[in-house]
Amino acid sequence: MAQTLSEIVGSQNMEDPSSHPAKLYSIDGMIPKVVLFPGNIEEVSQILTFSSQERESIIPWGNGTKMGWGNIPSKVDRVVNTKRLDRITDCEEENLTATVEAGVPLVKVQAHLRGLGRGYFIPLDPPFTQAATIGGIVASNSSGPKRYLYGTARDLILGMKVILPNGKINSWGGKSVKNVAGYDMCKLYIGSFGTLGIIGEVTFRLLPLPEKERTLVAVFRESRAAFEAVSGILQSELLPSAIEISNLKVFEVLGFELSGKSGKVLLAVGFEGFHESVERQIRQVKERVESSSPFCVYLLEGAHQDRFWTGLRDFESIAYLRFPDTISCRVNVPISKTGDVFRLWKEMMDEKGLDLGLRCHAGSGIVYADILMNDPNLGTEEWFKILRKAREAIRNLEGGMVIQKASPLLKKQIDVWGTPGKDFSLIQNLKARFDPDRLLNPGRFVGGI
Amino acid sequence: MNQANLIQALTQILGQENVLTSETDLAVYGYDGSLHSALPDVIVLPKTTEQVSAIVSLASKKGVPIVARGSGTNLSGGSIPLKGGIVIHFSRMNKILEIDIENQRAVVEAGVINLDLQNALSPYGYYFAPDPASQKVSTMAGNLAENAGGPHCLKYGVTTNHVLGAEIVLPNGEVLGIGGKASDYSSYDLLGVLVGSEGTLGIVTKMIVRIIRKPESVQTFLAIFDSLEGAGNAVSAIIGAGIIPATLEMMDRTVIKAIEESIHAGYPLDAEAVLIIELDGIKDGMGRLAQRIEEICKRNHVREVKRATSEAEQAKLWEGRKGALGALARLKPNYLLEDGTVPRTKLPGVLKKVVEIGKKYQLEIGIFLHAGDGNFHPTILFDARNEDERKRVLLAGTEILEVCVEAGGTLSGEHGIGIEKIHEMSLLFSPLELESMRHLKGAFDPREVFNPGKLIPENR
């Protein structure tokens, strides 16, 4: 076996992870037999062809920022690391498209696009700003605050090259925004956690860099007033790029100095676009927010503004460094229920006396709850109850909850994705047709698929 | 199951008045906006999801094909009952179930007409972004099935970007809700593949869609050009300058003439091409943007840029554009409407080739384009009774699609594959890719009950 794999990628592009002292390639404590670094999509295809014949499972891996997500895999044989799929294949900035390989960090693509012509960007701002790769972002359908204006990966991807579990290569979509030739197959690979194929290359829709960006930040005494302000903004003619509400714990962890310390909740509203439009909107949103009696209001731009948004975006990675035992949950609900979820989490954690970082994309119905634990006194049984309670309450709000980070011990007791919905038989059908031997990321996604 | 038994069973589910079998009915439901036709065995008009489910279970057990149909405006043969069977017509499932402003959603039944939803949303100051030219008649579920576009896609995206949930009936009759009022549910993106699946994966009975607030300001311009090339270059230059208007629509001389003869939208008859450029959003800064667009047009030898000064004038300009196909259709008994899409930057070159193809086959072709998207509609006018002309039309059509694919484009931007472009699918997709599409179909509808013979060429 070793010989054939080394013939495909070259022996210098293989690693024996058991010899690795830092357990770099451990997934929930499971160590793969080998880590492979293919240099192009053709090599990925050969690895998958060979592995499917041998019934060896494959774990796709980018920069590893989200390898803790998902259920515990049922089988970990080979890791395919996309690090060497690091080319920006093609940029047609005048056509507003860019094609990049899966292993390129988004930050690198953005830097490249900024320098092209008048300056462009991919309107995605997911967490792990410095490290997250294109493949990982797309496979996990990762998004950030600006999704309010620009949408998520499914709105921004025009084409994709994928490698199927049997090694066959498929190209989907193209370079146009409108394309209805056949099924929209790209959608199958966004957010499916590498369980249907390995993403090799992605074509994105670009936008010209905005002329101007500004942000309003307001500190409120309690969350209700902040969410009321948001509801007013959502129904106004304003077109923000992001609407975020966080509790002050988030900013304490990030080490941001805020003079409104006696407040409890922070609202941030970002605007970007043409100069005149941003100036007028920031004026208007300030008047609007001030009428909701905040404790204080700031306006940010330039470096302060960049630092603010990057910090908020990267909160979880910063929190994990300080609190390695953090349990993270991600909730999706209809927009108007966001405040209910915020309060639900706050009350539950106040009751337990636990520190909690709460952030939400208030205009999109997404809430992140990070339970920051230095010394978890609660047993897994207790956690199981808490998470189940939260999940039930959220289901009643027509939403769902994913546990993004938890110890393997806890993950053994609870499906991090929640109980599969009625659509699970269709999901099983799809998995069975595309990956009949369950070789790609087995066990990690919904219902242990 | 024989015909009489099938009809009897359907009558039991729906009542006699909702089961149509007369010769006239069969003929009426046998065609759509394409060149194709085929007769169904029976047409049913359900009022509820439960009835749809019962119809599907029945047909599925007996192996009778089912085609779901909205208003039959399909331009690629998607609503033709190619293999006979049952046509489910959704005209009686046309209720707007909920307008939920605080969650920015509307819940509608499958047969709601796009424009009826727009009119219902208007008093709230909201709208549904997809605005296909057929919106006066086309249904919401039809828009979903075709992933319909429209002029405003340039800025706002297509139907798939605005559908959040659906209630669907699967081939075994099971009713399944996918997605919902929230986004990012943990699952495969079944809704994402359902949109644009041309009724081959599931039958949609309800939809949850995103609604957005009307922009505070809309400015519409008509830019008049003395050459097609000038107009094409202006489009590339506007996008290249970092401006993404709400729409960038283009029409050539043949289309202008046809529109002016029937609608009188105020387009100049001696122009080679016109652009409708619309800006929307926050009013501040829009004047500066308009000025920049005008400068870019001037650099590309525009004859004149006119601004619509009232809502009535805006409506007039749009009436012309939205009536383009109808106006063209008056000129000759038949038309073949193509729908290729190419990278915007390739548009001027591709247009030139299309004009050459028209000359080569001695055919009259009118071209209107969603130019900002690179999506163009060459419309070949002909008389199907002239056998020789009909042959040339089909050859020209295929040649135009080949030009699109060669330019790195695609077969269809918004009209779908249906029957019309099914043979050209292999120009774009490898046998491996077509096999993957069959896997997707198989996961939903292994026995090919829903809309058989469409979208994917048969495995040979």
Confidence of residue B146 (pLDDT cuts 50, 70, 90): very high
Average pLDDT over residues B45-72: 97
Q: Which residues in A lie closer than 8 A to residue B105 (C-beta atoms)?
A: 334
ipTM field: 0.96
Best mutation site among B436, B441, B451 for testing chain A: the one with the most A CBs within 10 Å?
B436
Contact A281 B282 (CB under 8 A): yes
Quick one: which of A100, A10, A8, A77 has its CA closest to A45?
A8
Contact A400 B186 (CB under 8 A): yes
Residue-level pLDDT at B3 = 87
Give the CA distances from residue B286 to residues A270, B212, B297, B298, in Å, rounded to whole numbers and listed in that order: 20, 20, 16, 18
Give the residue on B whose Cα is nearest the Cα of A155. B161
Contact A178 B370 (CB under 8 A): yes
**Locus of tokens 């667009």:** B293
Residue-level pLDDT at A352 = 87
How many CB pairs below 8 Å do chains A and B form together? Answer: 241
Instruction: Sort B301 into a burial class: Cβ within 10 Å, 0-12 / 13-18 / 19+.
Output: middle
Average pLDDT over residues A11-18: 91
What are the pLDDT digits (tens) for A319-360? Answer: 999 999 999 999 999 999 999 999 999 999 999 888 999 999
Per domain, the residue ranges of chain A are 2-81, 88-208, 212-313, 315-411
Q: Which residues in A lie closer than 8 A to residue B441 (C-beta atoms)?
A: 183
The answer to whether the beta carbons of residues B100 and B75 sit under 8 Å apart is no
The reported pTM is 0.97
Task: Indicate the CATH number for domain A2-81.
Answer: 3.30.43.10
Fold adopted by A315-411: Alpha-Beta Plaits (3.30.70)
User: Over 60: is that where the pLDDT of A260 sits?
Assistant: no
Give the C-alpha separation, A391 to A381, whole Å.
15
Q: Is A212-313 in the same CATH topology as A2-81? A: no
Average per-residue pLDDT for chain A: 94
Q: Which residues in B lie closer than 8 A to residue A364 (C-beta atoms)?
A: 183
All structural domains of chain B, each given as residue ranges with its CATH number in brackets, are: 3-89 (3.30.43.10), 96-213 (3.30.465.10), 215-323 (3.30.70.2190), 332-428 (3.30.70.2740)
Architecture of A212-313 per CATH?
A: 2-Layer Sandwich (3.30)
Contact A152 B184 (CB under 8 A): yes
How close A335 gets to chain B, by Cα (Å)?
5
Residue-level pLDDT at A2 = 61
How close A286 gets to chain B, by Cα (Å)?
16
User: Over 70: is that where the pLDDT of A317 sits?
Assistant: yes
User: Over 60: is that where the pLDDT of A1 sits?
Assistant: no
Closest in B178, B417, B425 to A423, CB measured: B178
Residue-level pLDDT at B35 = 86
Best mutation site among A137, A154, A183, A187 for testing chain B: the one with the most B CBs within 10 Å?
A183
Give the residue on A whose Cα is nearest the Cα of B162. A155
Quick one: which of A401, A406, A419, A442 has its CA closest to A57?
A442
Contact A433 B442 (CB under 8 A): yes
Contact B182 A333 (CB under 8 A): yes
What are the pLDDT digits (tens) for A381-419? Answer: 888 899 999 999 999 999 999 999 999 989 999 999 999
Q: Which residues in B lie closer than 8 A to residue A164 (C-beta atoms)?
A: 436
Residues 6+ apart with CB under 8 A from B448: B65, B441
What are the pLDDT digits (tens) for B60-71? Answer: 999 999 999 999
Give the C-alpha separation, A330 to A120, whole Å.
30
Contact A94 B345 (CB under 8 A): yes
Q: Which residues in B lie closer than 8 A to residue A200 (C-beta atoms)?
A: none
Residue-level pLDDT at B225 = 97
Average pLDDT over residues A237-244: 97
How close B5 gets to chain A, by Cα (Å)?
32
Residue-level pLDDT at A262 = 65
Contact A417 B186 (CB under 8 A): yes
DSSP state of B160: G
Closest in A183, A196, A432 to B437, CB measured: A183
Helix (H) or strand (E) holding A247: strand A242-247
CA angle, residues A73, A75, A77, in degrees to nearest 5: 120
A88-208 under CATH 3.30.465.10, yes or no: yes
CA B254 to chain centre: 22
The answer to whether the beta carbons of residues B381 and B363 sit under 8 Å apart is yes
